[in-house]
Amino acid sequence: MSDTDQTPQDTTDGEAEPARPVPLRVGLVGYGVAGSFFHAPLIDAEPELSLEAVVTSDPDRQADVAKKYPGARATEDVDTLLARADELDLVVLASPNKTHVPLAERVLRAGLPVVVDKPLAATSAEALALAGLARERGLLLSTFQNRRWDSDFRTLDKLLADGELGEVHRFESRYERWRPKLKGGWRESGDPAEIGGLLYDLGSHVVDQALTLFGPVRTVYAEADVRRENAAADDDTFLALTHESGVRSHLWVSATAAQLGPRFRVLGSRAAYVKYGLDPQEAVLREGKRPVPGAPWGSEPPSAWGSLGELGETRPVPSLDGDYPAYYRAIAAALREGGEPPVTAEQAAATLRVLEAAHLSATEGRVVPLD
């Protein structure tokens, strides 16, 4: 790997600074929404990483890659990318969900670490099998769960660590949108092979956050509905999780919310925390802005801060800055130092186990225990 190569840096007085490691070389597979708005700019913004190749067969997307990332070559297929595997240190999969497992297997067998956009797989068994393959080959395998670095999530995590809410009884989380018209594409497909629908899309985020904050789940209940005309995949879904800790998580994901509920409403024995509005990072990434090391990023104005307290006595809580760049910063550190990635395949499998149980619950109309 290229992390053993170093580039000396000259100072103005003629003395050499400590050599800096050559950036790790990254190949990105997929340049749709996930690849172009999230992965490419975040990889490019990390000094320890270098975006070397992007796999996309679309001529317009190839042109966009050439314009925004002139140092990266556009490659039409994965075969061509892996034929030059010795020129890469990491592959990132931002391809359609159904390709995640077969492509991750190919990358690992080619001897390369891999980051996979969520969901890692369709089932927890597939995720654990990939984890086993990665361990067998001594390679990093991680899932991109950027919402752990949302401004509101980081703020809530700190409030919990500081004991501001006391004993938490209920965690309410909403990831809602108002999209009454279908956009089309595989994400809205009813074909199970596509792994579409909101349960596996936005549900991957809210379940991962709940597990990160409150630990393993004992039982799962879910309602998954198809509300929009001509829709084939769930677009209005609710999950109720009972954690082994006793906390209950109530989670909503929807494309049919004409008015949005609070992003978080967390009820504890001492106080409650209520927060409206989504973290700002996705919006600015979609506008074409990129994080710059040392510059402000992911900040919320005071008007967007959440409130903490009890009935009639609440105070605004300054939001911690969102930090999506932290994910790839941690990936680079794990590759350099050999530690755990920021999101492990086993954690991804735990999320998938809950999603599988939720699908079964919604289908059969019953509470599903996780033994």
Domain of residue 333, CATH code: 3.40.50.720
The answer to whether residue 18 scores a pLDDT higher than 70 is no
Q: Are residues 120 and 241 in the same domain?
A: no
Q: Are residues 141 and 154 in the same domain?
A: no
Q: Are residues 225 and 188 in the same domain?
A: yes
The arithmetic mean of pLDDT across residues 57-61, rounded, is: 96
Rounded CA-CA distance 201/184 in Å is: 15
Residue 159 host element (H or E): helix 151-161
First to last CA, the chain: 42
**pTM score:** 0.92
Q: Are residues 26 and 116 in the same domain?
A: yes
Q: Are residues 42 and 67 in the same domain?
A: yes
pLDDT in tens, 99-152: 999 999 999 999 999 999 999 999 999 999 999 999 999 999 999 999 999 999
Q: Are residues 30 and 6 in the same domain?
A: yes
The answer to whether residue 307 scores a pLDDT higher than 90 is yes
Number of domains in the chain: 2
Residue 83 host element (H or E): helix 78-83
Q: What stretches of the chain adopt beta strand conformation (E)?
A: 6-10, 16-21, 24-29, 49-55, 73-75, 90-93, 114-117, 141-144, 168-176, 217-225, 236-243, 248-254, 264-268, 272-275, 306-310, 313-317, 368-369
The answer to whether residue 213 scores a pLDDT higher than 80 is yes
What is the structure's pLDDT at 13? 55
Range of the domain at 333: 2-146+329-343
Least confident among 87-101, 125-139, 172-186:
172-186
Rounded CA-CA distance 45/270 in Å is: 41
What is the structure's pLDDT at 117? 98
Under the banding of pLDDT at 50, 70 and 90, the label for residue 3 is very low
The arithmetic mean of pLDDT across residues 220-228, rounded, is: 96
Q: Are residues 71 and 183 in the same domain?
A: no
| CATH classification at residue 311 | 3.30.360.10
Tokens 């379940």 appear where? 207
Q: Are residues 134 and 42 in the same domain?
A: yes
The answer to whether residue 10 scores a pLDDT higher than 70 is no
What is the structure's pLDDT at 8? 47
Q: Are residues 40 and 137 in the same domain?
A: yes
| Type of residue found at 264 | F
Q: Are residues 172 and 314 in the same domain?
A: yes
Q: Are residues 134 and 195 in the same domain?
A: no
Q: Are residues 242 and 230 in the same domain?
A: yes
Rounded CA-CA distance 317/308 in Å is: 6
